[in-house]
Amino acid sequence: MKWRNRLLALLCLAVFAGLGVLYFQYWVVQKPFGIILIIGEGLAPERIALTRVYLGGADARLTLDGMPNVALVMNYSRDFAAADQAAAASALATGVKLSNRSLSVDSNGKAIPTIIELARSRGRATGLVTNGSLTNATCAAFYAHAGNANDIDQLARELAEGGKVDLCLGMSAAEFLPEAKQGQRQDNRDLLLELRQNGFDVIRTRAELESVPVWRRPKLFGVFANGADDRSWNDQPALADMVRRAIELLQYNARGYVLVIDAARMRSAAETNNAEKTLTETAELDRVVAAAQHYAGAKSTIIVCGDAAIGGLHANGFPFRRDSGIALLGLNPSGEPWMTWATGPKGVQSYGAAKIPEKEGSADSSTGTEKEPSEPAAFYAKSALNTVEDVVAFGIGRGTEKLHGTIDNTQIFKAIRDEL
């Protein structure tokens, strides 16, 4: 009789244990350990198709194409149908529609909490990585609160003094250094020195980045170029390498992490009407996505999202299915441009107060006629303009099932916030 009671007790224990496992798996909310937001500046649907063709032909596949959840993203601002860089990034960072030029502040100038600040309040480590300047509007929207996105000195000061981001990796040091140290600050403050005094490891080269130990929660600030025009490429890590190291360092926080990645060079390439650079930078974004998936693992949430469409790049005519790379640049056999822009410095017409620089209309010495650029824009603008066009978002991991159909850009913030 006693052994029957023991067997019954053991059976009941097994049943309760099984119910406990089912409850834990299906009713207890499992938060992702790593949450990664990758912002591709100018990532609109046509950019995806063009990058496929450029890399390997019309039937090439990108890492982005393998992400299971996808949505078109509306990105108007509070006051304009086309959001500028600051307003578009602020909507992703705060979940609130703001006026153009504003960074994470409401119409009364009151700070709106960002996803970085919310993550930090919940014990997560935080990271910010870009292949542009850490004070560009896309990055600044996640740590700064300002009515003027062009006040670089203030943004750099807020990043250095705020202590909101555990790991920062970017390309320009000039805004953190005084003029006496080849910087551009007018207040003579050396913010890199102040960061060191506040316990941050400050690194300036790719070798230093690779040598950072991974066994402790990082306080790391890396800038790998003196300014926006610095071309010392040997000391600069690729964006995918910075992302790999950021994940390796942030994942040692027991309560997880949030990492924001800004593919900034996509914007600078588009603004100058450089189609080849634009597509190679979009390909770099795709490599970043692959690196993030590999190093963050299956239990992480990864969202890739555009901010605002730029320049109106289009491929025209009928390139062959297998055409790729330089075969798509310049002129087709009929003498027509394969790729064209809507606006930008390669514009062949001007309107309003805009004036085409004389160098754009350089004469052909053999014929005496004016040469048009082989990759023209319809209208001249000093920098390619943002367009009223939906961008695109891709996602994988818990919470990204909300990416379907057409959504507002504020929904990206909400999808991340709900997984903190």
Give the pLDDT confidence of 233-261 residue by residue, as tens digits. 567 899 999 999 999 999 989 999 999 99
Mean pLDDT to the nearest integer, 260-265: 97
pLDDT at position 68: 97
Q: Is 244 part of a structural domain of the chain?
A: yes
pLDDT at position 336: 83
For residues 349 and 249, membership in a common domain is answered with no
For residues 272 and 412, membership in a common domain is answered with yes
Report which of residues 257 and 12 the model is more confident about.
257
pLDDT at 163 over 90: no
Report which of residues 294 and 107 the model is more confident about.
294
For residues 200 and 267, membership in a common domain is answered with yes
* φ/ψ bin of 109: left (φ > 0), alpha (ψ from -120 to 50), beta (otherwise): left
For residues 268 and 411, membership in a common domain is answered with yes
Q: Is 360 part of a structural domain of the chain?
A: yes
Assess contact for 58 and 48: CB atoms under 8 A. no
Residues 414/222/183/264 CA torsion (nearest 10 deg):
-40
- Assign 6 to helix, strand or coil: helix
Q: Residue 115: which pLDDT band, with cuts at 50, 70 and 90?
A: very high
Q: Residue 214: which pLDDT band, with cuts at 50, 70 and 90?
A: confident
399, 394, 295: which is closest to 64 by C-alpha?
394
Q: Is 23 part of a structural domain of the chain?
A: no
Q: Is 39 part of a structural domain of the chain?
A: yes
pLDDT at position 296: 96
The domain containing residue 339 runs over which residues?
Answer: 327-383
For residues 347 and 409, membership in a common domain is answered with no
20 exposed, middle or buried (CB, 10 Å; 0-12, 13-18, 19+)?
exposed
pLDDT at position 212: 92
For residues 263 and 331, membership in a common domain is answered with no
Q: Is 396 part of a structural domain of the chain?
A: yes
Helix, strand, coil % in the chain, rounded to nearest 5: 35, 20, 45
Mean pLDDT to the nearest integer, 7-22: 60
The number of folded domains in the chain is: 2
pLDDT at position 361: 46
For residues 398 and 340, membership in a common domain is answered with no
Each residue's pLDDT tens digit, 296-346: 999 999 999 999 999 999 988 888 888 888 888 888 888 888 899 999 999
For residues 344 and 397, membership in a common domain is answered with no
pLDDT at position 359: 54
For residues 364 and 401, membership in a common domain is answered with no
Q: Is 27 part of a structural domain of the chain?
A: no
For residues 85 and 188, membership in a common domain is answered with yes
Q: Is 12 part of a structural domain of the chain?
A: no
In angstroms, the CA 291 to CA 294 distance is 5
Mean pLDDT to the nearest integer, 106-118: 94
Q: Is 250 part of a structural domain of the chain?
A: yes
For residues 85 and 213, membership in a common domain is answered with yes
For residues 373 and 413, membership in a common domain is answered with no
Residues 409/152/382/86 CA torsion (nearest 10 deg):
10
pLDDT at position 118: 97
pLDDT at position 360: 47
Stretch among 197-206, 252-261, 283-292, 365-374 having the lowest mean pLDDT:
365-374
Q: Can you give the CATH number for the domain in which 165 is found?
A: 3.40.720.10
Assess contact for 168 and 128: CB atoms under 8 A. yes
Map tokens 């007790």 to a residue.
Answer: 9
